[in-house]
Amino acid sequence: MSNQKSGEEKVKSYGAGAIKVLEGLDGVRHRPAMYIGSTGKAGLHHLVYEIVDNSVDEALAGYCDLIKVTINKDGSVTVVDNGRGIPVEPHPIYKKPALEIAVTKLHAGGKFEKDVYKVSGGLHGVGISVVAALSKLMRVRVKRNGKIYQQEYKIGKPLYDVKIVGEVDKDETGTEVTFYPDETIFSTTDFDFSVLAARMREIAFLNKGIKIVLEEEKTNKKEVFNFEGGLIDFIKWVNKNKDVLHKPIYHIKEKDKVVVEFAIQYNSGYQENVLSFVNTINTVEGGTHVSGFKTALTRALNNYASKNKMLKNEALSGDDVREGLAAVLSLKIPEPQFEGQTKTKLGNSEIKGIVDSITMDFLSEFFEENPSIAKEIVNKGLEAQRARNAAKKAKELVRRKSAFGFSGLPGKLADCSKTKAENTELFIVEGDSAGGSAKMARNKEFQAILPLRGKILNVEKANPVTVLSNEQISNLITAMGTGIGEQFKIEDLRYSKIIIMTDADVDGAHIKTLLLTFFFRFMPKIIENGNLYIAVSPLYRVRKRGDHYVYSDEELKSLQKEIGGAEVQRFKGLGEMNPEQLWETTMNPKTRLLKRVTIEDAAIADELFSKLMGEDVEARRQFIAEKAHEAQIDI
C-alpha cells in the first residue's frame, strides 16, 4: 500500500467539494458518551482512535502508508500521516475552508461522499469534530499544494482563520493533529501507552503494509508496528502462547464490493477466540459477519466429517467445532450499519450470506486438499462433543437431584428476599469466615452471599467436563441462573451486580484471578454486559477522633502528617472486620468503592489469561521477570 501517487494527483482526488455536512456540533459536550462511549479511560483513548481512523481511511483508499502517534510531555497527543491532507480550499456551499467545516461541523467529512472513500471506519465521520469539541485546544496542520496550512480550535471553535505557516515540497502531503483533552469532561486525561499500543498493533495487523509508530516523550518508549503478513501474523500472535495444531488457514475474496478476509488456526486448548473487525473497527459484539462465518465453518466441517464417515450419530454443534479455535475475521464494507453509537455490532443483513458463501466455498475446497488438517480439526470437535454429552448428563443429574429439594439453588447461598434481578447483588466471598461476616453485615432485601470453600479450579488448564463437574463452579453457575455454553441467557441473570469480594492479600488476589478467569472464559457476556464488579475493601483502620478507613498504602502515606501517633490497624482479611465495619466500608452502596470489570481488548485479555493461567511455564516466568519491578511486596 505504498504512497505512489504524485502530490497533484492526490490533491485533485480529494477536494473541498468532497466534504459533505449533515449537522452542527451541538450536544457533543452535553452527551459525550453518546459519541465516544464514556468519559473515563476508554473514552479518552477513543479520541486518539478517531483521529487515527481518519489516517487509516486514507491508507485504505491507497494514499497513506505511514502514521505516527506521539504522547507528548505536555499531556497532548499528536497524530501525523502522509495522506492527501484535509482539503483547505473554500467549501462550495459554506464558502469557508473545507478544513474548518470538517473540524467544526458534526457529520462533515469525505466519508459521506462515496467517490472519496470506498470504505471507511471512524464514528460515521464525526471523529475529528468530536475530538475538537472535547478538547480544550486542538491544532491541525495540513500539507497540500506545497504549503503548510494551520488552524487552532478551543472546544470546537476556531481561534483564527486557516493560515499558511510554512512551505514544503509540492509532493509532500499529509495531516497533523495535536489535541489537549478537556479535563472538565474526562475523569482522567493521562494516556496509557500500552492501551494505545494494543489498538495500533491491531490496526497494523489488519492493514498489511501500513507502518504505525507509537512514541511517548516522557518515558522514551517507542514501538513500531508493521506486519507484511497481515492476518497470518495476527493469528500467529494470538496463538503465540498456545500449542497449535496446524499452520494458519488464510483466505481473502471480494464479492458484491465486500472484501472478506480471515485467518484460522486451532490450538490444543478448550477456549474459542474469534476476533472480528469491520473497516478495522473491532466489532466486539460480533454481528451478521460473525454469524455467517460460524455457520459456514460448522457446516463445512460436518460435511467433511459426514463424507469421510467420521460421524457416529449426531452432527457436530457450533460449540464443538469452535473449541480451541482462534480466528480473525476482517471485512471491508462500503456502507456498514452498526448497532450502537460506538460500533460494536454489525447489522447489515446481506453480509451474513456473503460471508457464509465465501467461507463455505473456500473451506470445503481447503479441507479436501488438506485432509490431515481437516481430520485433526474434526477429531478435536468430536472430542468436544463427547465432553459436551458427558457434561450434559452431569447437569441432568444435578437437575434431578434438585427436583427433590425445595430449590435448585446451592445450599451455601444466602439469597436476598427480592425476587427480581433489578438492583440486587450477589457477593462471591472467599471462605466461611468472611461469608459469616458478610451474611450478618448485608442488607437481606437486595444482597445475596455465596461463600466459596478455598480456591476454585483454574479453568484455563481444565477441560469442560472437569470444570462443569466441579462443585464450587457448579454452585456459581447455579447461583447466576444464566446457564452456560449454548444455553447461556443473559436475561436470566438473577442479580444485576455480581461482586467478587476477597481478602486484600496474596491468596485473595489469586482467588480473584481464578474467578476472573472463569467469567472471562465461560461467561464473558456477564463482563460485556457490565454486571461483574470487584469490591474494594480497606487495608487499614485509623483510630483518631473516630474510625477512618484507608484503602491503599499510598493513601496512608499521604495522611501521615494528619495521623501523627494515631492507632493504625492493618486488616489481614474480611473475616477480621465486625459486620458493622464490613457493611460501612465494603458493602454499603452509599459509602463503598466498587471496580467494574471490563474487557478493553479481547485479544490482549486472551493472551494475558493464557500466559498467566495456562500451561506455558516459561511464558509466565518471563512475564513475572518483566513485571517484577512493578510489584509491591506486602510482608
H and E: helices and strands count for the chain: 21, 26
Tell me what pLDDT residue 629 has: 62
Strand partners, 331: 260, 278
Residues 416/444, Cβ–Cβ less than 8 Å: yes
Q: Which residues are catalytic?
A: 430, 503, 505, 507
For residue 128, with 0-12 CB atoms within 10 Å meaning exposed, 13-18 middle and 19 or more buried, which class applies? Answer: buried
Average pLDDT for the chain: 86
In sequence order, which ranges of 280-334 are alpha helices (DSSP H)?
288-307, 318-321
Question: Which CATH fold would you assign to the domain 231-386?
Answer: Ribosomal Protein S5; domain 2 (3.30.230)
The 10s digit of each residue's pLDDT in 150-175 is 999 999 899 999 999 999 999 999 99
In this predicted structure, the answer to whether residue 403 has a pLDDT above a threshold of 50 is no
User: Of the CATH numbers 3.40.50.670, 3.10.200.10, 3.40.50.300, 2.60.120.380, which one belongs to the domain with range 425-630?
Assistant: 3.40.50.670
Domain limits, CATH 3.30.565.10, in the chain: 7-225
What percent of the chain clears pLDDT 70, i.e. is strictly above it?
A: 88
Task: Name 370's Cβ contacts closer than 8 Å, sequence gap at least 6.
Answer: none
In this predicted structure, the answer to whether residue 279 has a pLDDT above a threshold of 50 is yes
Mean pLDDT of 133-139: 95
Mean pLDDT of 267-285: 90
The 10s digit of each residue's pLDDT in 498-539 is 999 988 777 888 888 899 999 988 898 999 899 999 998 888
The 10s digit of each residue's pLDDT in 217-263 is 999 999 999 999 999 999 999 998 899 999 999 999 999 999 999 99
For residue 245, with 0-12 CB atoms within 10 Å meaning exposed, 13-18 middle and 19 or more buried, which class applies? Answer: middle
Tell me what pLDDT residue 401 has: 46
Tell me which of 352 and 553 has the higher pLDDT: 352
- Mean pLDDT is lowest, of 88-97, 164-173, 245-254, 439-448, for 88-97
- Cα separation, 316 vs 320, in Å, equals 6
Mean pLDDT of 329-349: 83
Confidence category of residue 404, pLDDT binned at 50, 70, 90: very low
Tell me which of 85 and 615 has the higher pLDDT: 85
Among 632, 505, 471, CA closest to 573: 505
At 278, which helix (H) or strand (E)?
strand 273-278
Residues 492/482, Cβ–Cβ less than 8 Å: yes
Confidence category of residue 76, pLDDT binned at 50, 70, 90: very high
Lookup: cell for 219: 518515558
Sign of CA dihedral 606, 609, 612, 615: negative
- Cα separation, 227 vs 229, in Å, equals 5
Task: Name 371's Cβ contacts closer than 8 Å, sequence gap at least 6.
Answer: 308
Tell me which of 121 and 471 has the higher pLDDT: 471
In this predicted structure, the answer to whether residue 561 has a pLDDT above a threshold of 90 is no
Mean pLDDT of 76-81: 98
The DSSP output letter for 226 is -
Only one residue has cell 459469616, namely 436
pTM, two decimal places: 0.71
Q: Specify the length of the chain in residues.
A: 635
User: Of the CATH numbers 3.30.565.10, 3.20.20.70, 3.40.50.720, 3.30.365.10, which one belongs to the domain with range 7-225?
Assistant: 3.30.565.10
The 10s digit of each residue's pLDDT in 385-397 is 988 887 777 656 5
Mean pLDDT of 11-15: 68
Domain limits, CATH 3.30.230.10, in the chain: 231-386
In sequence order, which ranges of 340-463 are alpha helices (DSSP H)?
349-369, 371-403, 431-441
- Mean pLDDT is lowest, of 63-67, 102-106, 115-119, for 115-119
Q: Which residues of 322-335 are buried (b: 16+ CB within 10 A; e: fewer)?
A: bbbbbbbbbbbbee
